[in-house]
Amino acid sequence: MIAALRARRPGGGARTRLRPRAVVIAVLLLVAVLLSAMLVGAGNLGWQRVLGEIFAQVTGGRSPLSEREAAIVWQLRVPRVLLAGLVGAALAGAGATFQGVFRNPLADPYLLGSAAGAGMAATLVVVLTPSGSAWLPVAAFAGALGGVGLSWLLGRSAGGPGTATLLLAGVAVTAFLTAVQTFAQQLNTTTLKQVYTWILGGLTVSGWHEVMVALPYIGLAAIVLCLSARLLDVLTLGDAEAASLGLRPGRVRLLLVAAASLATAAAVSVSGLISFVGLVVPHLVRLLAGASYRVVVPLSLLGGAAFLIVADQIARTALPGEIPLGVVTAFTGAPFFVMVLRRSSRGASR
């Protein structure tokens, strides 16, 4: 099947390979971004002293930080950086997967109603149980999966899980859940600020709890998506071609949508709704490394982690007060997206 796929692709199999050099560069970039974000934060601890603390933890030497300052590093700064990496990887990997499944470069992780479902569930928790904000991540996770599940069921009932049917089902479910969310907000307008703060996205950590909650789901989804990247390449040929190569498009599409939706739901549950990551990063990877999903998916996971770590560092250090993370990604993502659209339109006109 893969040999047949290579024969149908321009340039043969070389363009479908994930080159070790690209992986090494992406990993080194991610490590550099991680280290930079750990050394610099809103609390002015001094990057040299923080580096000395990290070195002391590795070697067992004496730390230049006080016990309180070390707690800021290991219980606030490091978990937040790792959580940003997990969320960025989840959104970018899911975005790349949805773009392949639907053969649409405008597809994003929220395409099938995950954002609307999470927003509705979070709003209901805030409005109906103002003192029960601890349930908000659980509700957002369940709402995101529920929105995608409704879209899938509606698509199947309307004629099967084809891409066009699923897209229309996602639009319908998103509109309905957004209407429910708006109605719930009107029931208690005093909660609007809290709801919109969550919708704008952000990372709030109190130790390692959020990281440990999101890690299993995002890790499992990332493994599935990387192992299924070859199948995603086959799907891009169309259902008829994929079936002729021995693939069952409906089952593969269900697996990929389920894994991408799981990653998105886990990300949304700990960060709120963060836009543009799932659009910008896969496009950057295609421009720099190639269009095969064997390349795009794993590099999007690494690139998405680095992208959101940098965005979160800007959000927490650019101004005296923290900027909502979704605002930062929109400021950086929207101009890039306009550039991609202009480039695509120029290529189409030639």
Separation of alpha carbons 226 and 256, rounded Å? 10
Residue 200 lies in a domain: yes
Separation of alpha carbons 1 and 241, rounded Å? 11
The pLDDT confidence band at residue 218, using thresholds 50, 70 and 90, is very high
- What is this structure's pTM? 0.90
Separation of alpha carbons 207 and 83, rounded Å? 11
| pLDDT score at 173 | 93
Residue 350 lies in a domain: no
Residue % of the chain over a pLDDT of 90: 38
Residue 329 lies in a domain: yes
**203, two tokens:** 């990372």
Separation of alpha carbons 198 and 217, rounded Å? 21
| pLDDT score at 8 | 47
Residue 101 lies in a domain: yes
Model confidence pLDDT, tens digit, residues 35-44: 999 888 766 7
Full domain range(s) for residue 246: 2-11+19-345
Using CA atoms, how far residue 30 sits from 55, 72, 213, 304, in Å, is: 19, 22, 22, 9
Q: Which amino acid, one-letter code, is at 308?
A: L
Residue % of the chain over a pLDDT of 70: 90
Given a cut of 60, whether residue 4 has pLDDT beyond it is no
Given a cut of 60, whether residue 13 has pLDDT beyond it is no
252 close to 163: Cβ distance less than 8 angstroms: no
Q: Of residues 104 and 299, which shows the higher confidence score?
A: 299
Q: Which amino acid, one-letter code, is at 51?
A: L
Residue 226 lies in a domain: yes
Tell me the range of 151-160, 215-224, 315-324, 334-343 where mean pLDDT is highest: 215-224
Given a cut of 80, whether residue 61 has pLDDT beyond it is no
| Residues present in the chain in total | 350
Using CA atoms, how far residue 347 sits from 121, 333, 342, in Å, is: 42, 21, 9
Q: Which amino acid, one-letter code, is at 167?
A: L
Average pLDDT over every residue of 272-284: 91
Give the H/E segment covering residue 199: helix 192-199
Given a cut of 60, whether residue 161 has pLDDT beyond it is no
Residue 49 lies in a domain: yes
DSSP class per residue in 249-314: HHHHHHHHHHHHHHHHHHHHHHH----SHHHHHHHHHHHHH-S-HHHHHHHHHHHHHHHHHHHHHH
Q: Which amino acid, one-letter code, is at 185?
A: Q
**For the chain, how many structural domains are there in total?**
1
Residue 54 lies in a domain: yes
Is the alpha carbon torsion for 249, 250, 255, 259 positive or negative?
Answer: positive
Separation of alpha carbons 198 and 135, rounded Å? 13
The pLDDT confidence band at residue 7, using thresholds 50, 70 and 90, is very low
Residue 24 lies in a domain: yes
Model confidence pLDDT, tens digit, residues 292-301: 999 999 999 9
**120, two tokens:** 């509705």
Separation of alpha carbons 276 and 25, rounded Å? 23
CATH code of residue 97: 1.10.3470.10
